[in-house]
A and B are shown apart, each in its own frame.
Chain A
Amino acid sequence: MADTLTTTSGFSRASLPAPTGQPAFVTALRERALEAFEALPVPSPETEEWRYTDLTGFELDFQPFAEGGGPEAVNRHGLLAAAGVSGERAGLQIQRNSEVISTQLGATATEPGVILSDLDEAASKHPDLVERYLHSLVPADRSRFTALHAAFRTGGTFVYVPKDVRLELPLQTLTYLDADGAAVFPHTVLVAEEGAEVTFIDRFASPDLDRALSNAIIEIHAGPNSKVRYVCLQEWGHGVTHLSVQRAHVDRDAEVRTLVVTLGASLSRSEAETVLEGDRGTSEMLGMYFGDGDQHFDHRSIQDHIGNETASDLLYKGALRDSSRAVYTGTVIIEKDAHRVDAYQTNRNVLLSDRAKADSVPNLEILTNDPVRCGHAASVGPVDENALFYLQSRGIPHAEAERLIVYGFFREVLDRIALAEVREGLERAIEAELEG
């Protein structure tokens, strides 16, 4: 009979990525992570963190590695189109399945020291740099899944922007998955040194699959006075289980803006955290999700204020059709010695069917005695009946009125997305979702 060990048999010492060519610190990390993976429990729905997403029966019988097919696969599989690039890029990297198959840094990003690279390659070429940052914000032993990630990750993206270098155009990685039954471990390490500016887009796309696992980690280091924009577009096909942990560290006077978009996957759990450690750091966290069918979305966020005069503002909005399901759990932490902090958190959900369901769970942990400006708002409900009647009274049929209202509902987030290309892409995506 199958016991818990055989269910994880795809992930064993024997199937760890070959140590050839990888620096010693990576090999050691994998070894330690594998031990942690084997030792850590399957997250239990008894715990607060996993209350809404029960993975106790989730079989980890995935292929730990699937080939990328080399640079030719970019054209053969139409991956430039899948990257959804409609504007200029400072650089574009494409990973198919477990391997990075193409990396191009454009002419505008030739400032000395800018790196956009396969994470494994970066670990070999710049071992000191990568060792300093890899798994520094999301430690391997944070959970059974992050441990699995640290042990088996291949590919991934390393972005480094040196001091005072400002990249006007965005950098992007497309992670494309078309190997049914595979597990992929997307990993983005984004480092902006003091005074640097960078925008990075992570896009995850796949056709509908029977079953696949995306186990992702994103680590963002915003140095003093830097400006970082990070966009995550999760557009996996059906059948994919997406588990991601994103954590940003914000140094003094730095500004980090993140956007998490969840449209795809059958089950998507996305944790986004910002740690405001330096004084006067600011963070904007935007989120958008649109569920249909029986999709299950679990979004979690943490805004952790350590430094003085730090400010964070979070806005997550989602719409749910059919029998889709979403939960949002957000925590604002104001640490003991943080003074003059501003922290806001808003989550709104609109239900487009009787069978759709959403929960919104805001938490405040104020450990300082200092007065803080802090606010949170949450709502779950159907389309505003008064607004519907108002539009209908002007001749607009019910279905169109609902579309207009839901589209308008997302406007608040869309209006805050600085990158026109991303905003327009999302407008089209929402329209498509609304057309059903």
Chain B
Amino acid sequence: MSENTTLEIRDLHVSVEGREILRGVNLTVRQGEVHALMGPNGSGKSTLAGVIMGRPGYVITGGDVLLDGESILRLTPDKRARLGLFLAFQYPVEVPGVSVVNFLRSAYNAVKNTDGDDENRMPALAFRKLMKEKMAMVGVDDDMVRRYVNQGFSGGEKKRMETLQLAVLEPAIAILDETDSGLDIDALKAVAAGINQLSGPNLGLLLITHYQRILDYVTPDHVHVLMGGRIVRSGGPDLARELEAKGYEGLRAELGIEAEGDEAEPERATT
């Protein structure tokens, strides 16, 4: 990994089931920077996150995603992770029968021990110590890490678990897809505090969010708005506040963009 890893999304076009979702996205996130990505439901934020991480099912019809100048689009998701990318899922996946501890140990060893030499795997005891530290940081208790990955976890617990994984794996660039959604006030504080501690010169963050609230804890350097498959507006922290005030409808009117598809739907009330 280089000193200053850079993720660059270049004129990215992506289709899902024959429908073009992303229509030329440009965005650069450097290690140490905090970017917020906002946008209406269905505008393609998770699609963008998925494409960056290598989720199957997308057709990339144009553009590129580069890490330190090298295209990563042909790499498997695990290779991307080992290059320093991380995605906190909007909908974390249940993995029945696999305990959080075992999962994280496998992940840690895969990410930190990229030569794949078993000899260099972190001993169980040392790993437990590291886990303890990170668990305290994001407010996850022993009981939870002994359970099976996300199985029977509440929405909030799942988000905490994503944050724990971020803390343990220490990526260079992390995309957090609505990690602040579905959290109660205390949990939001805990998760935000965790993210805050992690952010710094070694971490580049792309925070996908619908809310100003998280940005009160983690101040973004840049805020971007994704609408109609493109980033239609970028600015400083003020842009998030401005959006909160006038809504996407207001921005649409201002930019003279026609509403289309499910972008016109109101925000889910559950978030």
Contact between B97 and A386 (Cβ–Cβ < 8 Å)?
Answer: no
- Most central of A396, A404, A409 by chain B CB within 10 Å: A396
Task: From A385, A395, A398, A411, give the contact of B81 (CB < 8 A).
Answer: A395
User: How would residues 380 to 395 of chain A score, 1 for a CB under 8 Å from any chain B CB and 0 otherwise?
Assistant: 0000111101111111
B56 an interface residue at 8 Å Cβ cutoff? yes
A407 an interface residue at 8 Å Cβ cutoff? yes
Contact between A392 and B96 (Cβ–Cβ < 8 Å)?
Answer: no
- Most central of B87, B95, B104, B111 by chain A CB within 10 Å: B95
Task: From A387, A389, A411, give the contact of B55 (CB < 8 A).
Answer: A389
Shortest beta-carbon distance, B48 to chain A, in Å?
Answer: 15
How many residues of A are counted as interface, with CB atoms below 8 angstroms from the partner's CB atoms?
A: 25
Contact between B95 and A387 (Cβ–Cβ < 8 Å)?
Answer: yes
Give bound CA distance, A390 to B56, whole Å: 11
Task: From A391, A397, A408, give the contact of B96 (CB < 8 A).
Answer: A408
A contact face: mostly helix, strand, loop, or mixed: helix
Contact between B106 and A400 (Cβ–Cβ < 8 Å)?
Answer: yes
B211 an interface residue at 8 Å Cβ cutoff? no
**A343-397 CB contacts (< 8 Å) to partner B:** 384-387, 389-397
Give bound CA distance, A411 to B102, whole Å: 13
Contact between A394 and B148 (Cβ–Cβ < 8 Å)?
Answer: no
B78 an interface residue at 8 Å Cβ cutoff? yes
Contact between B110 and A397 (Cβ–Cβ < 8 Å)?
Answer: yes
A405 an interface residue at 8 Å Cβ cutoff? yes
Contact between A401 and B96 (Cβ–Cβ < 8 Å)?
Answer: no
- Most central of A392, A394, A397, A405 by chain B CB within 10 Å: A394
Give bound CA distance, A27 to B215, whole Å: 86
With a CB–CB cut-off of 8 A, which chain B residues contact A404?
95, 98, 102-103, 106
With a CB–CB cut-off of 8 A, which chain B residues contact A400?
106, 110
A204 an interface residue at 8 Å Cβ cutoff? no
Task: From A392, A407, A408, A409, give the contact of B78 (CB < 8 A).
Answer: A392
B92 an interface residue at 8 Å Cβ cutoff? yes
Shortest beta-carbon distance, A314 to chain B, in Å?
Answer: 18
B212 an interface residue at 8 Å Cβ cutoff? no
- Most central of B76, B94, B102, B107 by chain A CB within 10 Å: B107
With a CB–CB cut-off of 8 A, which chain B residues contact A410?
97
With a CB–CB cut-off of 8 A, which chain A residues contact B31?
none
A424 an interface residue at 8 Å Cβ cutoff? no
User: How would residues 90 to 131 of chain B score, 1 for a CB under 8 Å from any chain A CB and 0 otherwise?
Assistant: 001111111000111011001100000000000000000000
Give bound CA distance, A289 to B53, whole Å: 35
Kindly report which residue of chain A lies nearest to residue B85, judged by CB atoms: A393
With a CB–CB cut-off of 8 A, which chain A residues contact B82?
395
With a CB–CB cut-off of 8 A, which chain A residues contact B169?
394-395
With a CB–CB cut-off of 8 A, which chain A residues contact B111?
394-395
A128 an interface residue at 8 Å Cβ cutoff? no
Contact between B106 and A409 (Cβ–Cβ < 8 Å)?
Answer: no
Shortest beta-carbon distance, A23 to chain B, in Å?
Answer: 50
With a CB–CB cut-off of 8 A, which chain A residues contact B96?
408-409, 411-412
Kindly report which residue of chain B lies nearest to residue A390, judged by CB atoms: B93
Contact between A408 and B98 (Cβ–Cβ < 8 Å)?
Answer: yes
User: How would residues 41 to 59 of chain B score, 1 for a CB under 8 Å from any chain A CB and 0 otherwise?
Assistant: 0000000000001111000
Known: A408-B148, A411-B148. A397 touches B78 (CB 8 A): yes
Give bound CA distance, A401 to B98, whole Å: 10
B77 an interface residue at 8 Å Cβ cutoff? yes
Q: List 15 A-B contacts (CB under 8 A).
A: A389-B56, A392-B54, A392-B76, A393-B77, A393-B81, A394-B107, A395-B82, A396-B110, A397-B78, A405-B98, A407-B97, A407-B98, A408-B96, A409-B96, A409-B97
Known: A395-B107, A404-B103, A408-B98. 15 other contacts (CB 8 A): A389-B77, A390-B89, A390-B93, A392-B77, A393-B77, A393-B89, A394-B103, A394-B110, A394-B111, A397-B76, A404-B102, A404-B106, A407-B98, A411-B98, A411-B148
Of all A-B residue pairs in the complex, the 9 with the closest CB atoms, nearest first, are: A411-B97, A408-B97, A395-B81, A394-B107, A395-B110, A408-B98, A395-B111, A390-B93, A392-B77
| Chain A residues with a Cβ under 8 A of chain B | 384-387, 389-398, 400-401, 404-405, 407-412, 415
